Copies of this chain bind each other. A is one copy, B any other.
């Protein structure tokens, strides 16, 4: 028999913790003196009580460790339960969102997607803006833990390649998720502080610096203004680019750095390939921009760097409306969104290491076609890769593309045009934020979409955030057998 109590216990605790964090926007709104703080008091009480009661009622079933079945249910359950409660302040507060919109916004926050259905951000109580930032910050740290601890163990989408690595690094001393989470949290909090200070240094207010630091290091991309990051053009764009890139390098390398080992970071092939890809793309776009617009070279370089970094890391801030950058750059941005950052970070989408493995596999395939009797083995980071990992990665890629097609067709069924449907499916599955076209492009907003489309996109965000398999495995009959 499937015992749901251990799953309910952990989810309950996490929900209660989410409720506890509502004290922060409560205090901010209290300081503003508007009375809007009551919303967070009510939401917080409801959330803490609900979570606490569930945890309490399940606490008699808690054992050492979880079965595979329970681990999957936990992973998906967390990302379903937290948006439900995270939506409360958005429904009850000044935004007065309907349930579908509030759930979409909270899911977009916790999956670090950053697509928003809220307009008039500039006029909102600060508590709401801070709450959106907190959702993304928590979603970011949450996914790093899941990507470093759970997915490799569950052998999802080729993530098992990082299994030995993560545990080798920690040695036998830190074998548990909570302990890995603690080390990662130190790094994540450090990045956040450094980002806040850097934003302050270039003139942002303390509130803006904090919220945008939350949504930068989580590569979430929510902003406090309808104009997104266009409010802060200039040096802030360089700072944001720097921290967005830091946030999508493998966190295991930072843990090693903390432990005094800097060589893995310098030698990691995923990091090298990722930085090279960014450099090449920034170069291409900067050249294209200087040709199209009478831009100073610095402006071209800055806009290229910021917007490429924003899309490839899956942050999704916009500093300009790149729908005005002409057909080449528009199409390029669509495909760049399908690349993503490094595994074991806050990034989503397909990710660099998978492309490295796919291209390695393609090269081997071409060698085999040419010399059917030769022996060729794909490599990653200097080591041979077994067929198990390669197969997982390819299945992931196929599944990602097929899911993208199905989500796009489902969105089209709700009446959205081809570009909006396809780029909407991609931006949701890749947890990026903006899509293409007038409706959901960098200058648009998701509020005008119909309700079914918002549900479909919410599901796509969830599926994409948990690397597909972690959700889809529950759709198989076999999963539910004991």
Interface, chain A (partner B; CB < 8 A): 68-69, 154-156, 326-328, 330-332, 334-335, 338, 358, 361-363, 365-372, 387, 390-392, 394-395, 397-399, 401-402, 405, 408-409, 411-413, 415-419, 421-422, 436, 469, 472-473, 476, 478-479
Q: Which residues of B contact A156 (CB under 8 A)?
A: 369
User: Measured between alpha carbons, how far is A371 from B473 in the docked complex, in Å?
Assistant: 11
Query: Inside 8 A of A370's CB, which chain B residues have their CB?
Result: 68-69, 473, 476, 478-479
> Which 6 pairs, one residue from A and one from B, show the smallest C-beta to C-beta distance?
A331-B412, A394-B394, A365-B395, A328-B413, A328-B412, A335-B405
- On whether the beta carbons of A368 and B155 are closer than 8 Å, the reply is yes
A387 x B391 contact (CB < 8 A): yes
Could you name 13 residue pairs across A and B whose Cβ atoms are closer than 8 Å? A68-B372, A327-B417, A330-B418, A335-B405, A335-B408, A358-B398, A363-B476, A365-B391, A366-B469, A387-B391, A394-B395, A397-B397, A418-B436
Instruction: Across the interface, name the chain B residue whose C-beta is closest to A421.
Output: B331
Given A395-B365, A398-B397, A371 contacting B335 (CB threshold 8 A):
no
- CA A469 – CA B367 in complex, angstroms? 11
Cross-chain contact B369 with A412 (CB below 8 angstroms): no
Q: Chain B residues with Cβ under 8 A from A368's Cβ?
A: 155
Asked if residues A369 and B331 are in contact (CB atoms below 8 Å), the reply is no
**For the complex, what is the distance from the CA of A365 to the CA of B395, rounded to whole Å?**
8
Q: Decide: A362 and B395 in contact? CB cutoff 8 A.
A: yes
Q: Nearest Cβ in chain B — how far from A232, in angstroms?
A: 28
What distance in Å separates the Cβ of A353 from its nearest Cβ neighbour in chain B?
Answer: 14
Tell me the complex Cα distance, A331–B154, Å: 35
Distance (whole angstroms) from the CB of A402 to the closest CB of chain B: 8
- Closest-by-CB residue of B relative to A425 is B331
Q: How far is the CB of A429 from chain B (nearest CB, A)?
A: 14
Q: Is the CB of A415 within 8 A of B362?
A: no
The reply to whether A478 and B394 form a contact with Cβ atoms under 8 Å apart is no
Least Cβ–Cβ distance between A261 and chain B, in angstroms? 30
Known A-B contacts A68-B372, A391-B390, A478-B371; the reply to A331 vs B408 at CB < 8 A is: yes
User: What chain B residues lie within 8 Å of A417 (beta carbons)?
Assistant: 327, 330
Q: How far is the CA of A362 from the CA of B479 in the complex (A)?
A: 14
Q: Which residues from B are CB-within-8-Å of A391?
A: 361, 365, 387, 390-391, 394
How far, in whole Å, are A419 and B330 apart by their CA atoms in the complex? 11
